[in-house]
A and B are shown apart, each in its own frame.
Chain A
């Protein structure tokens, strides 16, 4: 633990007087071989490595990434956390993640700034009302908190919201998950990186994987990288929007398409948004970061792309909707907009588990909503890699569901319409 200084009141006090912080994780160069190689140093990949080391005693692990850690979708999302999905399999998986969020700062001894300020999903049409009430009932049967609000209740939870009947998008009600909220995206990546590194995991940045090595039997034997070959009998692909590209190196086609998904932030304001508000129908979701910026999620482009930019009109449409729902925000200026490349599946549920290639595991397809799942995703994927069979919560999410037809359709629970 020598290279992982503990955080305490005293250490914060002494660093507050100007003492420089030590590096929080080792800058590793690749060894010739590891027990497990994880491809992708985003939140999900780093969490996978952390739980492999922490819970399964597999510490001879490398996490390789072509860029810097947390520089993909982990650093590009709107940090919303909730577990109010419809089907039992998804609700169990996202609730598993939510429970881990609740204690994650203590677990990692790193403040991930998880803030359960409530996630409120607005209903604007009769159909929305029916769908969200169905979700509320399903969640309560699953033991997950979710409650139905009248427009007046919704206004009480979120005062800047316009609930007047004359509005362009009238609010007919809302579903509120009070345990939902946000966390600090960078801190999640850094916290997992720091904790994994301290347990012996090598995090190798700026090292693109260029090939997957196979034995004559078909089993994986390692990865080719920009820094030379790395041998491993077990490889976990956690490459989000680039999963199809990496899996093609092993000759596999995936049920995935990659789309740019955009987000924007406004200039900083004093506290004005007490919760997260999502509106699937008009396609806007919004919360306020601790820096005061309004963090706004926009939609995906209509065509697959790796451009990490996205069309300007997509963000403009979202801002029009935000201005209708929150008239007091109309004169705000936007500071930045960006896009991440999200890997979407036909049923809007992730793919976690084994692949037809022995030794090759995949964790992908989180689409437009992967951040909330970060701890749970890493936790069940680590267990799957360690045991060589799917963790019970991951089992329904195997690749084989596209052949058996047991899809887990969460198109209505995914906030971003496709």
Chain B
């Protein structure tokens, strides 16, 4: 069980959180204007690295807010906690 540092509530156990996918994936501002390939890339393609991954979490059973972190997918160590996801940043 991960201990996840919520930037508002402090460290809480993983089962209070919802994983919200890879961070910094930007929705095309005009979906009708982009190609099918670009739309598919937005919807489905992910980096899935073996190593540092920027990802979003939501403190579902706590403050309910989004934030992003960098987690190493080999060690599961978390660093770089960032609140800007709550303000709408991807």
The chain A residues found within 8 Å of chain B, CB to CB, are 242, 244-245, 248, 253-258, 302-307, 311-313, 346, 402-405
Contacts and interface: CB of A to CB of B under 8 A. Distances in A.
Interface string B32-49: 000011001101111111
Contact of B46 (A254, A312, A313, A405): A254
B71 interface: yes
Interface residues of B, number: 26
Nearest to A305: B73
B46 A311 contact: no
B34 to A, nearest CB: 12
A312 B50 CA distance: 21
5 A-B pairs with least C-beta separation: A244-B48, A255-B44, A253-B45, A403-B40, A303-B19
A244 B36 CA distance: 22
A368 B50 CA distance: 19
B58 to A, nearest CB: 11
Contacts of B55: 303-304
B81 interface: no
A257 B55 CA distance: 12
Contacts, number: 67
B14 interface: yes
Given A307-B76, A311-B14, A312-B1, A403 B46 contact: no
A399 B14 CA distance: 33
B2 interface: yes
Contacts of A404: 36
Contact of B74 (A244, A256, A306): A306
Given A303-B19, A303-B71, A402-B40, A244 B14 contact: no
A244 B2 CA distance: 24
A244 B15 contact: no
B67 to A, nearest CB: 14
A313 to B, nearest CB: 5
B46 A307 contact: no
Contact of A245 (B41, B49, B75, B76): B49
A245 to B, nearest CB: 5
14 contacts: A244-B47, A245-B50, A253-B45, A253-B47, A254-B46, A255-B46, A256-B46, A303-B55, A304-B73, A305-B74, A307-B76, A402-B40, A402-B45, A403-B40
